[in-house]
Structure 1
Amino acid sequence: MEGTTAVGSTPLALGYLKTSEQRRKTMSTISKDSLKTSLLQLECHFTWTLLKKHVSLEALEETILDHIKFLSEYEIRDYNLLSYVNHLKNSNEEALRNLKKAEEAIQKRHPDEIARRSLVTWGNYAWIYYHMQRYEEAQNYISKVENSCKKLSSTTHGKIQLPEIYAEQGWTLLRFGRNYFERAKNCFENALKIEPNNSDFSTGYATAMYRLKGNAWWCGGEVKPCLEALQRAVELNPKDTTVMALLALELQRLNRADEGERYIEEGLQKTPDFPVFLRHAANFYRKKGKVNKAVEILKKALELTPNSVTLHHQLGLCYRSKLMQLKKTRYPPQEEMENLIQLAVFHFKTVIDKKPVFFSAYSDLAGTYAIGKKYEKAEEIYQKVLHRHDLACDEKQEIYFNYGHFQQFHMKSESKAIKYYIECLKLETDSYSRRRSSGAVETLLKQKIESGLGDSNDIGTLGLVHKLNGKKLEAIECYKEALDLDPNNEEYLNALTQLQLSIRS
C-alpha cells in the first residue's frame, strides 16, 4: 500500500539486523580463532613447518606417485604427504581425495588400530576444511583427533607422542630436502627411543644420518659417521635394498668399494626393477668408473619412472663424464663429442625445467656447454642462476666457484676469475666450494706475484684473501708490501689499521 513501509525495512528493524549481522560476524571470528588454536595443536603436515620454497612441488608430487607405485606398503604416509602437496598447489578437492585414499589404506592395513593410525590423516582433513572455510567439518575432525588422543593417552588437545607419528614426520622432512635433515634425524631418534628395534625407524634414522653426512661434507659442517646406523638398518631389514645401496655407497666412500659392490650385486638380484635402488646402484658404478654400466642401469630406471628428476641428473653426469674422458684422447671424434654434449644438455635441461631449485644442475649444464666451447650459452646459464635470490649460502658459493673456474680456464680471464673466487670467499660459511675458491685464487695471485708480473693491486688482493680466510698476520704482511708500492692507497691503509687493531684487542 502506498505510504506504508514493509516491516523489515523500518529504521528499528534495520538497526536490529545490522546489530545481528555484527554479532554473527563477531561470533564467527571468535569461532574461527578458537578453531585455529585447536588446529595448531594437531600433529600433521600443516604443523610441521614445511615450506614450499624448499621444494619443487611438481617434482615432489611425481616422486610421491612413483613411490606409491613401487612401494605400496608406505601408501598411507605417501597419500598424507600428497594431500599436503595438493593443498600447496591450491588443489584442496584433490587433497581431500588423497586423504580418502589414506583412510582406505588405514582400514585395509590397520583394521584394529584405525583411530591411532588416522591421527595425521584427520589432522590434515581438519586443516584442509579450515582453508576451504568449511569450519564445522574442520571442527569435527579436530574433535575426532582430541577424543582419540584422550583414549590413547592422558594427553589432550591432539598432542600425543606416538612413534609412528615421529617416523611419518621424519620421512616427510627428508622429502623436503637438506634444510630438514637434522630435524628428520631427531624425529627418528624419538621414534627409536620408544621402539628401538623397529626396522622402518632404523632405516629412516640411517637415511637421515647418511644425508646429513653428505650435507656436512659439502657445506663444511661436522661430518658424523653413519656407517654403524646403515649397518644396523640393513641388519633389521635385509629386504630393503635402498638402505643396502646407501651402505654400499658409504663403504665406497671409505675405500671399501669391493665390500660395497657385493651389496649392490645382492640388491640387483633382489629388486632388479626398483628405480630408487637402481639410481643408487648407477651412482655407485659411475663413481667406480664403470660409466657405461651406470648408463645402462639408469636407462632402465628411467623407463620405469620417466619423470624422475634425479635419474635425469644422474644420466647427465654420466654423459658429461664420458665426454670429459673422450676429450682427453689425442684425437677425440667430434661427432661422438657432439652427441654426448647433446645428451648431457638434454638431461640437465630437463632437471632445471622440472625442478628449478636444483641449483647444482645449472653449473652442470653450463659446464657441459663450456666443454663444447659453446661459451655464450654457458654464460647465459651462469647469469640466469647468479641473479636468483633463493640460493642457500653454500649453493651460491658453488655457483661463484664454478663461474670463476669457467672464467679462468675457458674464457682465459684471470681478473674475472679472481673476482668471483673472492665473491665466494666473502660468504663466510665453510664449504667445499669455498675451500676450492680459496686455493684457486691464492694460487693465481701468488703465481703472478712470484713471476714478477704482480703489482700492488695483486698483493693487496692477496691480503684481502688472507683477511677473508682469517689469516691476519699474512694479510698484514701483504698490505704492508702493497703500501710500499702504493703509499697513498686508503683502502690498504684502512685494512691494515683494522687488522692491527683487531690483533691488539
Structure 2
Amino acid sequence: MDTNQRGIEAMQKGNFEEAATIFSEAIEANPNNPISYINFGNLLSAVNELDKALKFYEKAIAIDSNAATAYYGAGNVYFNLENFDEAKKMYEKALQNGLDEGDLHFMLGMSLFNLGQNRLALPYFQRSVELNKKDSDARFQYGLCLAQLELIDDAVKQFDAVIQLDEDHADAYYNLGVAFAFKENTDKAIDMLEKALDIQPNHMLAGHALKIMNGQSN
C-alpha cells in the first residue's frame, strides 16, 4: 500500500492527525506529486480548515493544471464559503479536465441554482440523476429546479421518485402538495401536505400551505 493510500485509510477511520502526518511524509518524499496535496486538501476540508485546504488545492493545480480533483476540491471549499461564482468556475474546470461524476454535476447545478441561474443548472441536475439514480438529494434538487421553471409535471415525476427512494422525505411531499395546488388539484394537494406533516409535524411551510388549502376547500 502506498503512502497516500495509507493516509486516506487513516482519514476514513477518523484518525486525522495520523493522516496529516502520512500526507506530510508523502509530500516530503515527492513534492511534485499533486495527489498528495489534493489528499491533504481533502483532509483539511474535512476538519473545516477551508482556507488552508484551498492553498493545498492551488499547489496541486500549480503542479498539474489538469488535476480535475483539485479543481473539484477547490470548488467545494468555495461552495462552503458561499462563494458560488468561484465554486461554479472550479467545478467547470474539473468537468473540462475529464471528471464526470454525479457529485460534480450535482454541485455545479447547486452553484448555478444558488446564483439564480436555474435554467443553466437544470442539465447538470439531470446528468447527476442519470449518473446516480438512487441519489435522493440530487433528484429532489432536480425536482425543485424543474418546479422553479414551472415545469410542474416533470417536477412531480422527480418528487414521486424521491419518495420511492425515501418514503419519509417530508420536503418532497410538501413540494408535491405545492405542485398539485398549482395544478388546482386541491384534494391531492391536501393529501400530500398532510403526509408531509405526518412525517414532520413542525414543518412550518406545509402547515401554512395546508391552512390555505383547507380554507379554499371549505
Q: TM-score, length-normalised on structure 2? A: 0.61
Deviations 1:431-474 (A, max 9, x none): xxxxxxxxxxxxxxxxxxxxxxxxxxxxxxxxxxxxxxxxxxxx
Q: Measured at CA, do residues 99 and 193 of structure 1 come closer, stay the same or move farther in structure 2, by a change above 3 Å?
A: farther
1:164 corresponds, among 61, 69, 72, to: 69
| Aligned-partner residue type, residue 287 of structure 1 | V
Residues 208 and 298 of structure 1: CA distance in aligned 2, closer, same or farther (over 3 Å): farther
TM superposition shift of 1:192: 0.7
8 Å contact from structure 2 (residues 109, 124) kept in 1: yes
Distance in 1, matches of 2:65 and 2:40, equals 9
Asked if the contact 1:291–1:318 (Cα under 8 Å) also holds between the matched residues in 2, the reply is no
Task: Quote the residue 1:321 is aligned against.
Answer: 209
Q: Secondary structure at the match of 1:195?
A: coil
Q: What 5-or-longer segments of structure 2 have no aligned partner?
A: 1-7, 24-33, 182-188
Contact 1:185 1:208 in 2 (8 A): yes
1:209 aligns with 2:125: no
Counterpart CA distance in 1 for 2:35 and 2:114 is 33
Q: TM-score, normalised by structure 1?
A: 0.30
Identity %: 17
8 Å contact from structure 1 (residues 203, 233) kept in 2 = yes
Whether the 8 Å contact between 2:68 and 2:99 is mirrored in structure 1 is: no
CA contact (8 A) 2:140 2:162 kept: yes
* Distance in 2 between residues matched to 1:192 and 1:298, nearest whole Å: 40
Partner residue, 1:287: 178
8 Å Cα contact 1:199/1:237 also seen in 2? yes
The aligned runs of 1:87-486 (5 Å cut-off) are: 100=16, 103=19, 115=36, 117-121=38-42, 155=63, 162-177=67-82, 180-213=83-116, 224-273=119-168, 278-288=169-179, 289=181, 290-297=189-196, 299-300=198-199, 302=200, 315-326=203-214
By how many angstroms is 1:195 displaced?
Answer: 1.9
| Contact kept in structure 1, 2:71 and 2:94, CA below 8 Å | yes
Q: Which amino acid aligns with 1:235?
A: E
Residues 318 and 203 of structure 1: CA distance in aligned 2, closer, same or farther (over 3 Å): same
When the two chains are superposed, the root-mean-square deviation of aligned CA atoms in Å is 4.4
Is contact 1:205-1:229 (8 Å) kept? yes
Q: Provide, for residues 4-24 of structure 1, a one-character-per-residue CA deviation record: whole Å limited to 9, x for no partner.
A: xxxxxxxxxxxxxxxxxxxxx
Give the distance between the partners of 1:236 and 1:268, measured in 2 at CA: 19
Query: Does structure 2 conserve the Cα–Cα contact (< 8 Å) formed by 1:182 and 1:212?
Result: yes
- Indicate the residue corresponding to 2:184 in structure 1: none
Unaligned runs of 5+ in 1: 1-75, 80-97, 108-112, 129-137, 139-144, 217-222, 304-311, 331-505
| Aligned-pair CA distance for 1:188 | 0.9
**How far is 1:176 from its partner?**
4.4
Give the whole-Å Cα distance in 2 for the aligned partners of 1:329 and 1:254: 27
Q: CA deviation at 1:280?
A: 4.3
What displacement does 1:294 show?
3.4
Distance 1:201 1:269 in 2: 24
Change (3 A) 1:266 1:325: closer
Q: SS of 2:120's equivalent?
A: coil
Q: Residue 184 of structure 1 aligns to a residue in which SS?
A: helix
Q: Which amino acid aligns with 2:16?
A: K
Kept in 2, the 8 Å contact 1:203–1:230? The answer is yes
Number of aligned residue pairs: give it.
183
* Displacement of 1:265: 1.9
Distance 1:260 1:102 in 2: 46
Larger radius of gyration: 1
Superposition map of 1:78-93 within 5 A: none
Alignment partner of 1:118: what SS?
helix
Q: Structure 2 CA distance, aligned partners of 1:298 and 1:100? A: 40
Going from structure 1 to structure 2, the CA distance change for 1:287 and 1:239 (only over 3 Å counts) comes to same
Tell me the CA shift for residue 193 of structure 1.
1.1
The answer as to whether partners of 1:244 and 1:267 remain within 8 angstroms in 2 is yes
Partners of 1:174 and 1:181 within 8 A in 2: yes
Distance in 2 (CA, whole Å) between partners of 1:212 and 1:298 is 30
1:297-345 per-position Cα deviation (integer Å, ceiling 9, x unaligned): 3653x59xxxxxxxx6xx2122222333455687xxxxxxxxxxxxxxx
Compared with structure 1, are the counterparts of its residues 293 and 209 closer, same or farther at alpha carbon in structure 2 (3 Å cutoff)? same
